[in-house]
Amino acid sequence: MVDTTQIKEHMDVISADKKVVGKVDHLDGPDKIKLTKASSPDGQHHHFIPTEWIDHIDEHVHLNKSGDDVTSHWQHGKS
């Protein structure tokens, strides 16, 4: 299990195939990362990624899923 306290605002979120899928807005509860609207493909909606997708954290949040897998399974939000 990763230490989610290491996750900081505006960290890049990087897929297993080295694609930047967004930037951290903040942790949304204990089990989701909320991405910034600005880093969204449409620039208008937040997206949410489960923390269980995290492989490791260094200066970035690295995921264990491909970019296509992330963008096809993340949750959408308006807030």
Provide, rounded to the nearest whole percent, the portion of the chain with pLDDT above 70: 97
Q: Average pLDDT of 33-54?
A: 92
Q: pTM for this structure?
A: 0.92
The single-letter code of the amino acid at 28 is D
8 Å CB contact between 70 and 15 = yes
Is there a contact between 23 and 35 (Cβ–Cβ < 8 Å)? yes
Q: What is the pLDDT of residue 51?
A: 97
Give the mean pLDDT of the chain. 93
List the domains of the chain with CATH numbers. 4-77 (2.30.30.240)
Q: Average pLDDT in the 13-33 region?
A: 96
Q: Indicate whether 42 pLDDT > 90.
A: no
> How much is the CA Rg of the chain, to the nearest whole Å?
11
Q: How far is CA 4 from the centre of its chain?
A: 12
Residue 65: pLDDT above 90?
Answer: yes
